[in-house]
Structure 1
């Protein structure tokens, strides 16, 4: 057995096969049943010519088919490739080709988009359709793919250096494939409350000895946070619960029905509608002891609202990225409005200055959050970006996360925002996250995204795209007065654009390209 997702899952399935592994709607599978399901699909993919090291694209909503496809690819040493289900033709054409995918498992409701570009992805030679009979020539129905395939294993030996790729980004450009070695990603995202195993068998024994636990990744599985949360749950011998798509009411109904103990969301885009739905009442949340946000900004005012609604639940904000893993926990009082401060809970996390030297604690020197040790290999098909993002300094390989920060005297890291989104206005830097958080503290603001628009005098001016609370009509003057109570004048938006619905990714990430266009039009 290796530190490899497929090896470890199989070991756990052998140890606790009758324990419930996955629930989605009416579907309930034990570890043994999910393992057998994934085995059948793995044998089908191998019979279709998918070889070790080749890539299998997954364009699905949450469900047993998504989890089984990821496991099936890993079982035959292939690499699952997550596809954003909102992508349209140009984005799909890019991703199919950039990832060099040779097979695609997709929901039939996406078939029109798939059919429009599949001929322009010459390496993509095998298609499996979930949810009905495909109309696309050559595509195989998922049920037919499983039929007559053995539920047993018989796969080649695997390596802890086998790749796991997660495509991420797309807020300012096309997505990029983050490459991990299997063992590295397992430990980079390791649950800090659990002891780290020295041998693969130790992890299996931990899962065997664990008590009953039900965990729910709320984000879509096409987002790395949900994939990682799924494997973390399995390493704990837990039951993973999904909803097919994000709907706040359905999430709370599922938490009540399945007695969920821990859930993971991605920032405000999920937390705000979940808080609104919970405030309407009628849900039993007594089983829930952990509400965790990761992968996106979790505004202080939103976090406080969640905590008031769930007074007996731990509400946590984790810091990390697809490239770095999970690295830190927000300290008491941390928020985008008052200042984000995180305490690293793994070794190798620091802030590097412009010369790529560690920032002395308490010096006030500004640099980039960086991590060494368990970090990604780089970006697929992009050696230049890999070299820039993963520099080697004095023989030590670092990841530069792009998060601008300094180190406080107590060793905590104060994060100002993502450098690539910073707005330079008259020589001053404005980090959108801080302004967005203040705006979302206004009672008439449901959501906000802040960007820069050209200005003849200052180079750029701060602009805000705002989605009001339903039935509210906030005046720019009121928002201006609200912001000036919390922000320096140069940070206050000069332009407001009001929209009926904010455009975000399924995982809640802001679409800054769209926001900039809307703001420029305003």
Structure 2
């Protein structure tokens, strides 16, 4: 019985060929058109020598071409690799080379950055360029649309449930690493979660998805989903695109280069969207402010079509959820999870907001809160344990056996994913998330490894020593903050330091505050004192409340 993503989407395309599948501005593709465009791209990849098991990197903003390239990869039994569009040369090179990608699909505006690293790319044989109106072009690159139109559709081929699917994540792993799944484990587990949230029964294999999609459309229960967050991340792709697609829903692509809540609400109103996927307060707070402003101006949006809003990965405060529900009667699903697996969720409606509290989740049946010895934490005990997901467990990290062994462990005969989150279990069985056991910073849904930022800072002559920590921030969850000591004879120039780090790392990793201390806290053996550094930062930034 197939659980291959390509088989599932092909089955849906055969069942509802004329129904909408993808919308991006003026681009509107039915399921039949979506499938045929992907089939042509799959043949293009094959014509360039990519064989089953190969990898392709996708380096683009939210767009129809991103979805098509991913579908095409699945069709040809190739593994798509997500690339964070915020990455600069070093990070970009690492992901493309580490993943062994043989093709790069990218927006033309990134051509200068690709050109800068072209000579370092070890395996790439095809540069497939998406025309975005920027006027940029990489010499020798193949135009996406022209090549697609010239190709013949690839015939449907037999596939294996064991084919590899991979999503790259920063997480607690330092440099980005590929989290590996086989198609059966990934698709069956992901769609089980999505269907359960909608109180629907999951089909038993790929052949059941088409008839279900057909029945939903016949009943007028078809959905339209906007992944408002980047589809290069698991939250946007998995919750905002893949789960809706499994229901035969249309995915409406939102221009996410610069988040504009007014544009999002206008698109929701215009396209009669039923589902929106965001990343916690970093999206929800400006979205709520836009609703408040439109209501105060006497021009409220018509959001009567909206039924569900989902989020995963960062804090989504109860107060903001309640504010959104004051404007919209819908269901809010706040998932607790990571690229390494889903762990639990909280469901909020107008009727149950009183019982909802920030960072409180009901565990999935397969999730346990365990001690380091693998014993369950007792409900109401106040004991802190590791969040261990025993359901959607990856195969491991691509080409990193040591990190795989540290993250994916077996206790009492059950294999768990343990990405580093710690929590307590309340007396009622709900889980209160405490945060990462490591020093990983989560800012606006992006995960930042402090040592990488510290090393970039230390290459500047004015820095003697430094530690980087995350401090609470109302909008982004955490603000990247550098606690540093200066080299003799140097003063602090925040603009210079900001530009220095920004030239080496993605913007979201660059500190937003630089705090000078006489001595950066470290133990006698030189190990960093992150806890002390964070306390120092809190006192210096807000001495009244610290």
Q: Output the TM-score relative to the length of structure 1.
A: 0.81
Distance 2:536 2:279 in 1: 21
Equivalent position of 2:237 in the other structure = 227
Three-state SS of the structure 2 residue aligned to 1:189 is helix
Equivalent position of 2:215 in the other structure = 209
Distance 1:271 1:296 in 2: 11
Q: What whole-Å deviation, never above 9, does each CA across 1:461-514 have from its counterpart, x for those lacking one? A: 436989xxxxxxxx989x555x4xxxxxxxx3xxxxxxxxxxxxxxxxxxxxxx
Distance 2:477 2:408 in 1: 34
Match 1:313 to one of 307, 314, 330: 330
**What's the offset of the Cα at 1:274?**
1.6
1:324 pairs with 2:341: yes
Match 1:460 to one of 532, 536, 543: 532
1:28 pairs with 2:10: no
Distance 1:295 1:394 in 2: 28
Three-state SS of the structure 1 residue aligned to 2:532 is strand
**What's the offset of the Cα at 1:124?**
1.2
**What's the offset of the Cα at 1:335?**
4.0
Count of matched residue positions in the alignment of Structure 1 and Structure 2: 453
Equivalent position of 2:462 in the other structure = none
Distance 2:25 2:537 in 1: 36
Contact persistence 1:53–1:77 (CA under 8 A): yes
**What's the offset of the Cα at 1:63?**
1.3
Three-state SS of the structure 2 residue aligned to 1:53 is coil
1:168 pairs with 2:186: no
Moved more, 227-236 or 197-206: 197-206
Three-state SS of the structure 1 residue aligned to 2:419 is strand
1:106 pairs with 2:119: no
Contact persistence 2:48–2:125 (CA under 8 A): no
Match 2:204 to one of 191, 195, 198: 198
Equivalent position of 1:277 in the other structure = 290
Distance 2:175 2:65 in 1: 26
1:341 pairs with 2:360: yes
**What's the offset of the Cα at 1:38?**
0.6
| Structure 1 residues 334 and 419: alpha-carbon distance in aligned structure 2, compared to 1, 3 A threshold | farther
Q: What whole-Å deviation, never above 9, does each CA across 1:341-366 have from its counterpart, x for those lacking one? A: 2112x321010102122222233221
Distance 1:19 1:386 in 2: 42
Contact persistence 1:24–1:241 (CA under 8 A): yes
| Structure 1 residues 392 and 30: alpha-carbon distance in aligned structure 2, compared to 1, 3 A threshold | same
Q: Output the TM-score relative to the length of structure 2.
A: 0.77
1:77 pairs with 2:83: no
Q: Which runs of 5+ in 2 are unaligned?
A: 442-468, 484-519, 524-528
Contact persistence 2:369–2:376 (CA under 8 A): yes
**What's the offset of the Cα at 1:226?**
1.6
**What's the offset of the Cα at 1:173?**
3.0
Q: How do 1:293-312 residues align onto structure 2 when only pairs under 5 Å count? A: 293-310=311-328, 312=329
| Structure 1 residues 286 and 157: alpha-carbon distance in aligned structure 2, compared to 1, 3 A threshold | same
1:237 pairs with 2:280: no
